[in-house]
Amino acid sequence: MNKAIGILGDIGSGKSFVAKNFGYPVFNADKEVIKIYKENKSCFKKLKNKLPKYIKSYPINKVELSKAILANKYNLKKIVSVVHPLVRKKMNSFLIKNRKKKLVVLDIPLLIENNLNRKKDILIFVDTKKSQINLRLKKRKNYNKKILENLRKLQKKLSYKKKISDYIIKNDFKFLTIKKQIKFIKEKI
């Protein structure tokens, strides 16, 4: 089984940008979740069963999900309990498909929380100033402070993630400085 680089960091810190600049195959959990919401009828049925008051339309509607999350903090846990096993299955398929590659990159927001990393994996923390993160998040069309707070509550503390990481990339959102740091890490591994 191949070695993986796990990308850690806060929501909006630029993890996906860093992940795709390594030049290895990337498993992006957020993109997989979007596909699941659009294409997986079984997921829709399970969510509709758990949240009948909110989940009504297929493909799964982000507005409905947002209303469910805002209405009750336990609703997010219900959503996660349905979606995460599907994401894990897709990740395992990705790892099998890319098993002959030297390295793969895992861009999974709850990588540590869901024990998706293995001991031999390399963890990289994307360190970004809080002010830059807030500016970026506010530009997103689906920005909702309360939903972000609920999502952050699912995550382990950033200080813990930073401490367990093998490398830290300082993200200033300048392509060249990120490329230099990635090059340095690739030479080390």
Q: Where are the domains of the chain?
A: 3-188
pLDDT in tens, 32-66: 999 999 999 999 999 999 999 999 999 999 899 99
Is residue 1 pLDDT above 70, yes or no?
A: no
Work out the average pLDDT over 79-87.
95
CATH superfamily of 3-188: P-loop containing nucleotide triphosphate hydrolases (3.40.50.300)
Residue 15 pLDDT? 96
Stretch 110-132: mean pLDDT, rounded?
Answer: 91
| Tokens 């080390």, residue located | 188
Neighbours of 35 (CB within 10 A): 13
In whole angstroms, give the CA distance from residue 137 to residue 148: 9
182's torsion region: left (phi>0), alpha (psi -120 to 50) or beta?
Answer: alpha
Percent of the chain with pLDDT over 70: 99
Backbone angles phi, psi at 167, to 5 degrees: -140, 155
- The DSSP symbol for 7 reads E
Distances (CA, A) of 28 to 8, 35, 70, 189: 12, 11, 25, 21
49: Cβ contacts below 8 Å, ≥ 6 apart: none
